[in-house]
Amino acid sequence: MSLDGLPLLPMPVHQDHKAHAPASVKVGVVTISDSRTPETDESGQVLKDLLQKAGHSVLFYVVVRDEPKAIADAVEQASWTCEAILTNGGTGLSPRDVTIPTLAPTLERTLPGFGEIFRALSYAEIGGAAMLSGALAGVYHGRILFCLPGSPDACRLAAEKLILPELGHIVGVMKR
């Protein structure tokens, strides 16, 4: 019985898992852009700010050109010290957008639901243009990797609605 006299109900399984999740995760942020610099990288700054406000540590940050080798090298370097890696940019339909074709083949596992839910949430905000939003998540060398569009609004949406509420839980599950 609880203090108010009502019977205690068991905690839902997902809540129990979250109760044992790390409160702080070591994260890397990789911005992929041919035009942004660390000084003009609004999307990277949005992600870093949201992660830090949620209690996570941003241990790695870089802006790289939208080129396969630069992207692969940055993600690999982030994986050396980070438990989670968030990329932003290079996920669209332009011939220069090579983030997803570069990183998808390197994933040990994918989380198809991430892209599906992200686009559904995006559709609620921007309508049919959401189908143009490339988004991918999966396991890269034992780390969780999220590939987000380069728009600050898209980064904020993905972080606030999907990544931050589950980040500790995801990392905790991966460490079992």
Summarize pLDDT for 112-123 with one digit per residue, the tens: 999 999 999 999
Q: Could you tell me what percent of the chain has a pLDDT over 70?
A: 89
Reported as a pLDDT band with limits 50, 70 and 90, residue 7 is low
| Cβ 97 vs Cβ 134: under 8 Å | yes
Domain boundaries, the chain: 25-174
Residues counted in the chain: 176
Q: Enter the pTM of the model.
A: 0.89
Q: What average pLDDT does the segment 2-7 reach?
A: 49
For residue range 15-49, list pLDDT tens digits in order: 565 677 888 999 999 999 999 999 999 999 999 99
Collapse the DSSP code of 2 into the 3-class scheme (helix H, G, I; strand E, B; otherwise coil) and give the result.
coil
Q: How are strands ordered across the β-sheet holding 109-110? A: 57-64, 26-32, 84-88, 143-148, 136-140, 109-110
Cross-strand bridge partners of residue 85 = 28, 145
User: Which CATH superfamily does the domain covering 25-174 fall into?
Assistant: MoaB/Mog-like domain (3.40.980.10)
Question: Considering only CA atoms, which of 71, 69, 97 is closest in space to residue 85?
Answer: 71
Q: How far apart are CA 144 and CA 86, in angstroms?
A: 8
Query: pLDDT per residue over 138-169, tens digit each?
Result: 999 999 999 999 999 999 999 999 999 999 99
Element (H, E) at 42: helix 42-53
